[in-house]
């Protein structure tokens, strides 16, 4: 469980976080979505107690992170995969964490194996790791002490498609056991596929949040027919919001069943009828963040 409550953080005139509130609940994967520089990393650093909050508060498992006893045993963090000493071996990095958190050192080898690093790779220095290997090491580090909560900043960066799929399964499995997962990404498809809840952030502000289903449902239905003009009139008569799609067809603010019924009554033959899921959320994401992203550059 992570609770972020009216969090604000300013750097001089720049507002990195502006009244950010959200929750990441146990048993669910919460996706933290936003373009680069939107404030995802800052919010995660405040949650982890690395950056002092300007206003508001963030708690993990009901208390500020800094007051958790032996925090590694409660919360697994991967904030930056490259923040490891280049001159240490991957195994040594994990061993240090095992000693510090008081976890059986045998778990080091188990985590190395779990994240798909070979024993030979684990004995190499982090300097020689690819970004994908660093991410895997970071995930091993986060999971090492069997935490209840995972906070991962852009963990899919540098992973190949198979690696991304592996991680998705891992996070889903972790949540299905009752764990809390908060992961950030600037890639919509990645979040959409793994998250139960989504928090969209742009320019330091939460611009949308809800369950993935809710956010997807809001995106309406895409319909193509042999006579779009007639169908459009019929839909407008039915008092449903409708707009043409540039690539042909109509975007309707109703579920596919309602659109189908209108088409049946109007006697229009449908060629395509689907919920506007991915396109819809993507457009929402672009809409919601494009302005803030531009403003972010100017700020």
Which parts of this chain interact with another protein (CB under 8 A)?
45, 48-52, 65-75, 77, 79-80, 82-88, 92, 96-97, 99-104, 106-107, 109-111, 113-114, 125, 141, 143, 145-146, 148, 166, 168-170, 172-174, 176-177
Question: Of 146 and 295, which CB lies nearer to another protein in the complex structure?
Answer: 146
Residue 173 Cβ vs another protein, minimum distance, rounded to whole Å: 3
φ, ψ at 52 (rounded to 5°): -70, 140
89 and 125 in contact (C-beta within 8 Å)? yes
Checking phi first, is residue 220 left (phi over 0); if not, alpha (psi -120 to 50) or beta? left
> CB of 50 within 8 A of CB of 216?
no
Nearest approach, Cβ of 107 to another protein (angstroms)?
A: 6
Task: Give the HSE-up count for residue 169: Cα atoms under 13 Å, Cβ half-sphere.
Answer: 8
- Closest to another protein by CB, 172 or 224: 172
Question: Cβ 256 to another protein, closest distance in Å?
Answer: 28
Whichever of 144 and 207 has its CB closer to another protein, that residue is 144
CB 157 within 8 A of CB 81: yes
Q: Which is nearer to another protein, 22 or 174 (CB)?
A: 174
Which C-beta is closer to another protein: that of 86 or that of 286?
Answer: 86
Biggest CA–CA distance in the chain, Å, is: 72
Residue placing its CB nearer to another protein in the complex, 13 or 104: 104
Q: Can you tell me the distance from the alpha carbon of 223 to that of 272, in angstroms, rounded to the nearest whole number?
A: 5
How far apart are the C-alpha atoms of 130 and 128, rounded to whole Å? 7
- Smallest distance from the beta carbon of 243 to another protein, in angstroms? 38
Question: Considering the complex, what minimum distance in angstroms separates the CB of residue 90 from another protein?
Answer: 12
Shortest distance in whole angstroms from residue 27 CB to another protein: 13
Whichever of 137 and 216 has its CB closer to another protein, that residue is 137
Q: In the chain, which residue ranges form alpha helices assigned H by DSSP?
A: 40-47, 90-101, 106-114, 119-122, 131-143, 161-176, 188-194, 212-217, 228-237, 256-266, 277-298
CB atoms within 10 A of CB 58: 23
Q: Give helix 161-176 / helix 131-143 axis angle, nearest 10°.
A: 10
The distance of closest approach from Cβ of residue 38 to another protein in the complex, given in angstroms and rounded to an integer, is 17
CB of 67 to another protein, least distance (A): 8
Q: Which is nearer to another protein, 80 or 278 (CB)?
A: 80
Angle at Cα 209 formed by Cα 205 and Cα 214, nearest 5°?
155
């Amino acid at each position: 469980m992570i609770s972020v409550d009216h969090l604000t953080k300013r750097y001089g005139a720049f507002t990195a976080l502006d009244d950010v509130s959200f929750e990441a609940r146990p048993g669910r994967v919460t996706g933290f979505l936003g373009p680069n520089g939107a404030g995802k990393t800052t919010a995660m650093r405040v949650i982890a107690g690395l950056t002092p909050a300007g206003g508001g508060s963030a708690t993990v498992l009901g208390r500020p992170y800094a007051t958790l006893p032996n925090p590694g045993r409660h919360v697994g963090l991967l904030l930056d995969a490259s923040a490891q000493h280049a001159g240490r071996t991957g195994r040594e990095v994990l061993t240090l964490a095992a000693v510090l958190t008081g976890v059986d050192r045998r778990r080091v080898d188990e985590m190395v194996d779990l994240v798909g690093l070979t024993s030979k790779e684990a004995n190499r220095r982090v300097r020689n790791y690819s970004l994908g290997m660093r991410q895997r090491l970071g995930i091993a580090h986060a999971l090492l002490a069997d935490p209840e909560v995972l906070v991962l900043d852009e963990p899919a960066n540098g992973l190949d498609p198979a690696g991304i799929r592996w991680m998705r399964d891992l996070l889903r499995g972790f949540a299905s056991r009752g764990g809390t997962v908060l992961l950030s990404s600037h890639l919509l498809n990645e979040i959409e596929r793994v998250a139960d809840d989504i928090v969209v952030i742009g320019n330091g502000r939460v611009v949308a949040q809800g369950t993935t289903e809710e956010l997807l449902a809001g995106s309406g239905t895409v319909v193509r027919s042999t006579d779009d003009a007639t169908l459009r009139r019929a839909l407008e008569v039915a008092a449903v919001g409708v707009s043409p799609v540039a690539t042909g067809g109509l975007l309707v603010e109703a579920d596919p069943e309602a659109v189908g019924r209108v088409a049946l009554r109007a006697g229009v033959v449908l060629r395509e009828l689907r919920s506007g899921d991915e396109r819809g959320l993507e457009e929402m994401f672009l809409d919601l963040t494009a302005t803030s992203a531009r403003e972010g550059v100017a700020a």
